[in-house]
Structure 1
Amino acid sequence: MSASAEDRASSLGALPAPAGLSGIVRRLQATSTGPFLGVALLVSLLAFLSVYPLSMLLYGSLHSTPPGVAGTFTLDGYRDVFTQQSVITLLNTVGISFAKTIPSLVLAVLLAWILARTDTPFRGTLEALITLPFFIPPILTAMAWGMLGNPQVGLLNQVYQWATGSDAAPINVYSYGGVVWHMMQYSVPFLFLLIVDAFRAMDQSLEEAARMCGASKVRTFCTVTMQLMLPALTGATILSFIRGIENFESPLFFGTPAGIRVITTDIYDSINQRSPPEYQYATAISFVIMALLFLIVLLQWRILRGRSFQTVTGKGYSPAVMKLGKWRWVTFAFCILFFFVTVVLPVGQLLIGSFFKFFGFYQRDMLTLDHYREVFGSSDFWRGFGNTMFLGFVGATLTMLLGGAVAYISVRTKWRGRILIDGMAWLPWMMPGIVLGVGFLWGFALLPHAIPIYGTIWALLLAYISLGTPLSVRVMSSAYAQLSFDLEECSRVHGANWLQTMWRIVIALAWPSFAVGWVLVFFGIMRELSASVLLYSVGSEVLSVVLLKLWANGSAEQVSVIGLMMMIMVVVFRWVQLKVIKSRINAL
């Protein structure tokens, strides 16, 4: 324990707590029901955010009519799931997710090795650039690549035709390749974030021992390095595979025009594109997704069960980097190329598209600022912007507070029921956004009329909190686990009550993690589309829904303008997040 922490704890006895809050805490502590009521309230809230929509999925999969309409209970929805077309849709989903996961893993491992184990120049800057695509809303890059890789008027095809004099269009994003390619742009940085620290933490002496026994560099990498990385690689791969099954934007933009159906777009079409909507089929196939994801997680547990992967011991070591010589500029160029393809190209397309009258016609006499005037004068844009900011700030704050409470009980207490709370908080992690949206669609419609959530902005807020809770719990659990229990004990010994200890010790030391988690949750809310598109109503549209409507109406130019503004927001919040992380590291 640091001296500053001890001084802070020892001085708490003389620090007055807020009178109102400390009075409430004393009254609750004076009664045996105080802690019980607090935990009961937390359990009820988590049950409403996770168990309730799951139970409504089961109810809806057996109910023959739309939400709120009297009907009968049948198995027709599950019969529709096991038709030939539905089986093809399921195979498409698994195949596409598998096809993007394997090359993404190879590329992510290569990038992580370059930045963690070599002397490539500017590694800190390169790491920030490589991870940036993960924080960009997928709908933005999907629309940008829809303009870059359009087989008729795509900018890349136009450049190719200008350079070669050919009439051929080699790039067509409206295909299986286009779906996989766009999904990879998010999968690679996601996998990179999960495995780069494992490379940094590995003791190099383990690899040196293999080399001394006569193993080549390649054999050492395959038999030692990759074997010891297996827990991180397996967990990251399975999470990436799950995210591929859950993906909505890539199949919607690039698969639907090509007739490629996956489960998420099938659910969306069942509710929004068919008349009458097939709610029972949508909820039944949602259950199939959850069963598939559960089996995948069980597979991971079986693979890693009973195996030891200890690489960090009590023996001191410092991870060394490999000297690449002149090749370090090749690895530097490779990282820059990844950033150029995944960020510069799509953002550049948005920039170019925002200044020309018509998408695909890039003559000088077509330059205009009309699209900026149309966007800034649009009530739909400002309403979507206001809703997004409100839901982002309020949703991220409430989600982190909820995650902090769950993590505190799970990590800092010995209450027997903490496993139940932790399990309910993690349940939404197994539910894709569109599946959770279907569950809440049923759940909100069946609530009593005295609870007017259905069709309001509060429906979106609750869905966002539910989707973000697993992440907030993960972030805050890691922060609490680093704090010694001696800090709280020292504070209480010196006369501080529970509220003073929490405010002056626990919260004060965990706030950097809270800030980092807040930014991550805010990013998640800003990029969320699958749940939003099912739960929004007139007046509660968010920017992702506004963009989807504009794209469907053929307003690619206005999409470019809004996309640029969202990109500026992403860069600003990412910069703030990195500053917080840096200040946290410096404070350690």
Structure 2
Amino acid sequence: MSSTIQMSPSGPGGIALGGRAPRLRARRISPFMMFNVGLLAVFIIGLLYPIAKALVWAFYSDGSWDLSAFGQFAANDDAMRSVPVTLLIVGCASLVATTMGLVLAYLNERTDARMGLFTDMIPFIPLLMPSIAGAFGWVLALSPRIGYVNQLWMAIFGTAGPFNAFSVPALIFVYSIHGTTFAFLIISAALRNLDPSLEEQSRLCGASRGRTLTRVVLPAMLPSIAAAVLLVIWTTMGGLAVPAAMAQPAGIPIMSVQILRFLQFDYPPQYGPALVMAFIMVGIIGAVWLAAARIRKLGRHGTVGGKTRVAARRSLGRWKWVARGFILLWATIVVLVPLTCLALVALNGYWAGHLRLDNMSVAHILSVFEPGSLNLISLLNSVKAALIVATIGSVIAAIFSVFVTSRKSKLVTVADGVMKLPTILPGLVLAIGFVLAYAGRPFDLGGTFLILVIAFLLEQVPKGTLTTDPIAAQVGRELTEASQVSGASGFRTFWKVHFPLMLPGTIVAWALLFVHVIGDLDTSALVASVHNPTIGSQMLRLGENGDYPAVAALALLVVLMSTTTVTTVFVLSRGRKWA
């Protein structure tokens, strides 16, 4: 059943009588719309059901509400200590990351220290290394005595190295690496959009460059800086990779690790206290979001003028090379150090206090993936899940984006907001609901490959729409109307009109989903098991057992696949002129 389109009467040349433009009106619901509504309903129910199941499981018993989970949480000393400790570490990491992002963005956007595309891409390099791989790389680099950086320090200075991977400063440093990338993205965009006339007027009034920066630029960018802080806190608060690799061996209580301990180290699993911890985590993120929104509302915004001009770059003189050296040093430290340490351990087949270059061989890496081993099974499971989720998820994201951006209904807006819950909820929080909802009755999917695919699709597709939504909004509405007037169905219009024009954004969404799934730990830590292992869950298990050569081998493969995927997409997107 196709939709019936009625056009208003028009005069010669297609001009509507009475001076009005042609008006299209759909009388009946098309099959394509019914398909979109059904698919959207499936995703919303698939997300809300686990959340409701978790609430009932934790706080409803014997026909009445039971709040004893809060008492169990309060009675656990480690759980209570983890909240202030996590707030301290995440707060410090967000300040460091935002400051570094601001410095890098200012050097790249406002000074002649910029080195073209190279400096544009440097802040993105840490994203090529999934957090679980980077975390174990820094463990191999900064561990006391046998860490490679400490060994290098000993060889140069003759004294024991001062670095300790299992410490609060190391946690803050590693947390801030990925956070710097997100802060750079937001702040650099704000600097590009800031009207340069504001700075010029300040200079004409006799203000120095430093005073202009502190009294004009920073206050005008305060909402963007607050947004950067919010994004860094959101990404670090719910992350499991870094604290699992560095905080757990040191006994530093972190909220995400404590959730994992409630569910995997206690028997029977304590879902109630784990959910209380998850709600506290969501509450903290919500409070930060409200504060950022308040700053955005009350702050002094920098606006884009009607005649936007590119701001003049400040000449740093001889300090330009110092600034460039700082950028290159930062890129070297955050990428090459952990990657080199992973390669050394993987190629040597062991990790000890001395390094033998003559023992390096690819055979050590190949030996990790023996036929039938959990390492090989986890690799195959992750690759299959990433390919399935990226392929199906990117197409579904494109379909959702077309449907949402072409409808102005409040109901559609609300439904879109509900479907995007995974973009604001930490993955570990959602994973608890997925386990409770789909691992047991009535679905009994625990330990199967299907539960991995379902969990990843429900979590990653809404994130994919963040990439496809802007692309769908750029497709002219007249193209859709022309296709409908020509008699094409909704499905044909999507495949012949929308999808080709959205292909660049869809490919980027495919790459992002693939990279997220291949290096995932937050969801895998709870949904995966020895029966359906993933790379993330297997690396966590190997790290707890001290098998660092196998961890390094898996991490290298993850980095290789992620880098290859992102580089290929980047080359394709720049190598041809998309419609």
The two structures share one fold, judged by TM-score above 0.5: yes
Partners of 1:123 and 1:155 in 2: CA distance: 33
Residues 142 and 250 of structure 1 are in contact (CA less than 8 Å); yes or no, is this contact kept in structure 2? yes
Q: Which of 509, 521, 524 is matched with 1:517 structurally?
A: 509
Letter in 2 for 1:544: G
2:142 is aligned with 1:149: yes
Alignment match, 1:51: 48
2:406 is aligned with 1:412: yes
Residues 157 and 169 of structure 1 are in contact (CA less than 8 Å); yes or no, is this contact kept in structure 2? yes
Q: Which of 358, 378, 386 is matched with 1:384 structurally?
A: 378
The change in CA–CA distance for 1:345 and 1:292 in structure 2 (over 3 A counts) is same
Letter in 2 for 1:149: L
Letter in 2 for 1:405: I
1:59 Cα shift? 1.4
1:266 Cα shift? 0.5
1:50 Cα shift? 2.0
Partners of 2:408 and 2:349 in 1: CA distance: 64
Residues 142 and 182 of structure 1 are in contact (CA less than 8 Å); yes or no, is this contact kept in structure 2? yes
Alignment match, 2:243: 251
Partners of 1:496 and 1:39 in 2: CA distance: 17
1:133 Cα shift? 0.5
The change in CA–CA distance for 1:505 and 1:149 in structure 2 (over 3 A counts) is same
Residues 420 and 462 of structure 2 are in contact (CA less than 8 Å); yes or no, is this contact kept in structure 1? yes
The change in CA–CA distance for 1:357 and 1:494 in structure 2 (over 3 A counts) is closer
Which secondary structure state, in structure 2, belongs to the residue aligned with residue 396 of structure 1? helix
Q: Once superposed, what is the RMSD of the aligned Cα atoms? A: 2.4
The change in CA–CA distance for 1:310 and 1:484 in structure 2 (over 3 A counts) is farther
Greater alpha carbon shift after TM alignment, 399-408 vs 270-279? 399-408
Greater alpha carbon shift after TM alignment, 173-182 vs 400-409? 400-409
Partners of 2:40 and 2:448 in 1: CA distance: 24
Greater alpha carbon shift after TM alignment, 128-137 vs 77-86? 77-86
Partners of 1:428 and 1:299 in 2: CA distance: 21
Q: Which of 267, 275, 278 is matched with 1:283 structurally?
A: 275
Partners of 1:487 and 1:228 in 2: CA distance: 39
Alignment match, 2:195: 203
Letter in 2 for 1:133: P
1:71 Cα shift? 10
Partners of 2:161 and 2:93 in 1: CA distance: 23
1:307 Cα shift? 5.5
Alignment match, 2:528: 536
The change in CA–CA distance for 1:510 and 1:443 in structure 2 (over 3 A counts) is same
1:253 Cα shift? 1.4
1:249 Cα shift? 1.4
Alignment match, 2:113: 120
2:385 is aligned with 1:396: no
Q: Which of 57, 62, 65 is matched with 1:60 structurally?
A: 57
Partners of 2:575 and 2:299 in 1: CA distance: 37
Residues 49 and 437 of structure 2 are in contact (CA less than 8 Å); yes or no, is this contact kept in structure 1? yes
1:268 Cα shift? 0.2
Structure 1 length-normalised TM: 0.88
Q: Which of 264, 267, 270 is matched with 1:272 structurally?
A: 264
2:340 is aligned with 1:354: no
Residues 104 and 184 of structure 1 are in contact (CA less than 8 Å); yes or no, is this contact kept in structure 2? yes
Greater alpha carbon shift after TM alignment, 486-495 vs 505-514? 486-495
Alignment match, 1:363: 356
Partners of 1:128 and 1:319 in 2: CA distance: 20
Alignment match, 2:17: none
Letter in 1 for 2:320: R
The C-alpha deviation readout for 1:539-561, integer Å capped at 9, x for no partner, is: 42111222222222222122222
1:401 Cα shift? 2.6
Letter in 2 for 1:107: M
The change in CA–CA distance for 1:413 and 1:564 in structure 2 (over 3 A counts) is same
2:129 is aligned with 1:136: yes
1:99 Cα shift? 0.7
Partners of 1:473 and 1:127 in 2: CA distance: 24
Percent identity over the alignment is 25
Alignment match, 2:326: 334
Letter in 1 for 2:123: I
The change in CA–CA distance for 1:404 and 1:222 in structure 2 (over 3 A counts) is same
Q: Which of 542, 548, 552 is matched with 1:556 structurally?
A: 548
Task: Output aligned runs, 1:339-488, within 5 Å.
Answer: 339-360=331-352, 361-364=354-357, 366-379=359-372, 380-448=374-442, 451-488=443-480
The change in CA–CA distance for 1:370 and 1:506 in structure 2 (over 3 A counts) is closer
Residues 515 and 580 of structure 1 are in contact (CA less than 8 Å); yes or no, is this contact kept in structure 2? no
The change in CA–CA distance for 1:497 and 1:444 in structure 2 (over 3 A counts) is closer
Residues 140 and 147 of structure 2 are in contact (CA less than 8 Å); yes or no, is this contact kept in structure 1? yes
2:206 is aligned with 1:214: yes
Letter in 1 for 2:400: V
The C-alpha deviation readout for 1:404-456, integer Å capped at 9, x for no partner, is: 233223211123311222111211123211111111111114542xx442321
Partners of 1:300 and 1:492 in 2: CA distance: 43
Partners of 1:401 and 1:425 in 2: CA distance: 16
Which runs of 5 or more structure 1 residues have no equivalent in the other structure?
Answer: 1-28, 65-69
Partners of 1:88 and 1:334 in 2: CA distance: 37
Partners of 1:455 and 1:82 in 2: CA distance: 32
The C-alpha deviation readout for 1:118-174, integer Å capped at 9, x for no partner, is: 2225331232233110231111111111111111311111111121222x3300010
Which secondary structure state, in structure 1, belongs to the residue aligned with residue 347 of structure 2? coil
2:560 is aligned with 1:568: yes
2:154 is aligned with 1:161: yes
Which secondary structure state, in structure 2, belongs to the residue aligned with residue 258 of structure 1? coil
The C-alpha deviation readout for 1:479-537, integer Å capped at 9, x for no partner, is: 12223322323443455443343223222111101111111111111121021011113
Residues 203 and 312 of structure 1 are in contact (CA less than 8 Å); yes or no, is this contact kept in structure 2? yes
